[in-house]
Amino acid sequence: MDKNSRIAIIGGGPAGLSAAMYLEMKGYENYVIYEKTDHVGGKCHSPVCNGKRYEMGAIMGVPSYYAVHDIEKFAGVEHDGPKLNRNYKYPDGRPDYRWDTADAMKSPLKFFLKHPKSAIHLKKLAAQIKKFGEILETTYKGYDVTGHIGVAQGKYKGYAVSEAREPVEGENPNLKDLSMPFNKFCEKVGCPLVQEVWIQPFTSFGYGYFDEIPAAYVLKYLDFQTMMNFVNVNLWTWKDGTQSIYERLNAKLKHAALLNSNIEKVVRGEKVTITVNGAEEVFDKIIITAPLQVATEKNPLDNPVAKTLDSWLDVTAEERELFSKIDYERYDTMAVMVEKDKYPDVSYYIVDNMVPERLGHLMVYYRRWEGETDQPIVTYALRHHKTANGGKELGYEETKKTVMEDMRKVGATPDVTKANNGLLYEFQTYYFPHVYSEDYAAGWYDKVEAMQGKNNTYYAGEIMSFGDMDETCEYSHDLVERFFAD
Ligand SMILES: Cc1cc2nc3c(=O)[nH]c(=O)nc-3n(C[C@H](O)[C@H](O)[C@H](O)COP(=O)(O)OP(=O)(O)OC[C@H]3O[C@@H](n4cnc5c(N)ncnc54)[C@H](O)[C@@H]3O)c2cc1C
């Protein structure tokens, strides 16, 4: 490709900004990033309260976040944030010691004498985790590479986490199993208990329930190495918030994102003509990191922050057919000021609320700043499952009330003497776009990958790999490597 090609990038979140960075690194400098809001970062959103930034979107990374590390180097950013820690509670506020592995590891005998049932269970769980790790590395070799190219056909191609980001390629028919829901996959490999551990950073962080999400997504994100970093709380955070990573990246790019860009229309032919804020701009190529979902009657896109793709792009029949299969998670966060003497000592997971029967309940409450009682606590809840609540999405306002009530039950009482009864900020998102097992197994990803480059169009962002910072940025890296020659 001609290095002077004029490239439009739609979206100034991690995927769009990192695509620009990797393009620049290869000498493609003639790009424009269009961002529809008044800030960059997308779901890495870190507002300020009393002089400190808190997190409404992405919070953490792990040492195997290689692409995020590329950005840190490029933009001069350090993961210098507060240390994360967590504990567990039952929904009624009692402490939950079932996964209190720190105590068990410090003194196994003492732990056994105090909690014999938990000790026996933890031993079984540890054995299954070990076995699961071995099975993933051998039977499912190639499971942890970037993106989903070939997986449904029993192949792999991309950057492997387990091999310290080496590009790898090969065939492994067992990988076809990754299209089944994660609960079925765990049962098939004889390790059903591992779900208790994988669920904690998965469902609680809005990525849906294990009976409906294909194992491929769960394991692209929580590959064995990443999962062990979560277990050992070996996590990265950023003092100025995850948004600051992308603000700093944006400031270092040759062309900062154009904010408040309203893309009205895109027409593709020999060239790509974009109507933005009333003016026409002509490009050679377009990279789309905005939501690709096309709405249908059965699967409407009734989301306050996402537009259906066909409202601004001249979608082809093939794009319409494939992108109408995408669904997303209804996952929103609230920042709540709590009564000063109820400010939690750490963050808490409420694992019993991470099941479809408890849809709409508080799954995690996150305390970012230790001892800073003038800082908000952030709440996380899901509002949709294919069968719970008759398959109907729970109402946004109704869920807010449930979550506030749950906060009281677990003892992080909202401070109703503050404005808005303590509710400081709300963040509604278009979260974790994905397809379901049937479409995954039928080769959805291979069909979309085969469209890359057609009509001068490339697709990136969360749906192409997974909805976390590193998978999205690593996919942008992979895309640039594959299609934009040195
Ligand atoms: C509550 C929460 C917790 C999370 N926790 C973590 C975590 O701890 N670790 C982690 O790694 N990840 C986490 N994530 C996920 C991570 O934030 C996302 O996966 C990542 O931001 C995705 O990047 P993206 O660029 O693909 O999409 P986004 O971040 O959604 O960015 C897309 C951008 O495109 C813009 N846009 C959309 N449509 C248009 C259009 N038509 N025209 C122009 N611009 C458009 C949007 O405004 C946005 O800025 C979390 C997210 C949330 C919400």
Integer Cα distance of 5 and 287 in angstroms? 12
CA-nearest residue for atom 27, ligand 1, is 13
Integer Cα distance of 207 and 468 in angstroms? 10
79 lines ligand 1 (CB under 6 A): no
Q: Choose which residue among 43, 250, 287, 292 to substitute to test ligand 1 binding: the one with the highest number of ligand atoms within 8 A of its C-beta.
A: 43
Distance in Å, CA 340 to ligand 1 centroid: 32
In this predicted structure, the answer to whether residue 102 has a pLDDT above a threshold of 80 is no
In this predicted structure, the answer to whether residue 449 has a pLDDT above a threshold of 90 is yes
Residue 348 is predicted with a pLDDT of: 97
CATH class for domain 7-46+238-326+435-483? alpha beta
Kind of pairing, strands 457-459 and 285-288?
A: parallel
Integer Cα distance of 455 and 271 in angstroms? 8
In this predicted structure, the answer to whether residue 168 has a pLDDT above a threshold of 80 is yes
- Reduced to 3 states (helix: H, G, I; strand: E, B; else coil), residue 176 is helix
Query: How confident is the model over 113-142, as pLDDT tens digits?
Result: 888 888 888 889 999 999 999 999 999 999
Query: How confident is the model over 33-87, as pLDDT tens digits?
Result: 999 999 999 999 999 999 999 999 999 999 999 999 999 999 999 999 999 989 9
Residue 339 is predicted with a pLDDT of: 98
CA-nearest residue for atom 48, ligand 1, is 42
Distance in Å, CA 364 to ligand 1 centroid: 20
Query: How confident is the model over 456-476, as pLDDT tens digits?
Result: 999 999 999 999 999 999 999
Distance in Å, CA 41 to ligand 1 centroid: 7
Mean pLDDT on 248-258: 98
Query: Taking a C-beta distance cutoff of 8 angstroms, is the pair 188, 177 a contact?
Result: yes
Query: Taking a C-beta distance cutoff of 8 angstroms, is the pair 359, 385 a contact?
Result: yes
Residue 160 is predicted with a pLDDT of: 87
Which of these, 325, 281, 283, 289, lies nearest to 306 by C-alpha position?
289
Mean pLDDT on 403-416: 98
Q: Is the dihedral of CA 335, 213, 444, 153 positive or negative?
A: positive
- C-alpha radius of gyration, the chain, whole number: 22
In this predicted structure, the answer to whether residue 347 has a pLDDT above a threshold of 80 is yes
Residue 162 is predicted with a pLDDT of: 81
**Size (the chain), residues:** 486
434 lines ligand 1 (CB under 6 A): no
Distance in Å, CA 463 to ligand 1 centroid: 11
If you average pLDDT over every residue of the chain, what do you get?
96
Name the region of 280 (left: φ>0; alpha: ψ -120 to 50; beta: rest): beta
Give percent of the chain with pLDDT exceeding 70: 99
247 lines ligand 1 (CB under 6 A): no
Distance in Å, CA 98 to ligand 1 centroid: 33
Mean pLDDT on 269-283: 98
User: Could you tell me the pLDDT band of residue 99, with boundaries at 50, 70 and 90?
Assistant: confident
User: Could you tell me the pLDDT band of residue 161, with boundaries at 50, 70 and 90?
Assistant: confident
For the chain, domain boundaries: 7-46+238-326+435-483, 98-231
Q: For 354, which DSSP code?
A: S
What ligand 1 atom has the least distance to the C-alpha of 60?
A: 8
10 lines ligand 1 (CB under 6 A): yes
Which of these, 325, 319, 407, lies nearest to 362 by C-alpha position?
407
Residue 164 is predicted with a pLDDT of: 85
What ligand 1 atom has the least distance to the C-alpha of 469?
A: 11
Query: Taking a C-beta distance cutoff of 8 angstroms, is the pair 453, 484 a contact?
Result: no
Residue 298 is predicted with a pLDDT of: 82
Residues 248-281 as b/e (b if ≥16 CB within 10 A, e otherwise) read bbbebbeebbeeebebeebebeeebebebeeeee
Which of these, 293, 304, 312, 366, lies nearest to 330 by C-alpha position?
304
Query: How confident is the model over 306-345, as pLDDT tens digits?
Result: 999 999 999 999 999 999 999 999 999 999 999 999 999 9
Mean pLDDT on 189-200: 97
Neighbour-count burial of 4, counting CB atoms closer than 10 A to its CB (0-12 exposed, 13-18 middle, 19+ buried): exposed
Distance in Å, CA 40 to ligand 1 centroid: 10
Give percent of the chain with pLDDT exceeding 90: 90
468 lines ligand 1 (CB under 6 A): yes
At 234, which amino acid appears? N
Residue 7 is predicted with a pLDDT of: 98
Query: How confident is the model over 288-303, as pLDDT tens digits?
Result: 999 999 999 888 888 9
42 lines ligand 1 (CB under 6 A): yes
Query: How confident is the model over 110-120, as pLDDT tens digits?
Result: 878 888 888 88
201 lines ligand 1 (CB under 6 A): no
In this predicted structure, the answer to whether residue 184 has a pLDDT above a threshold of 90 is yes
Across-strand partners of 431? 329
Residue 118 is predicted with a pLDDT of: 82
Which fold, 98-231? Answer: Guanine Nucleotide Dissociation Inhibitor; domain 1 (1.10.405)
In this predicted structure, the answer to whether residue 91 has a pLDDT above a threshold of 90 is yes
Could you identify the residue written with the tokens 């592995």?
A: 101
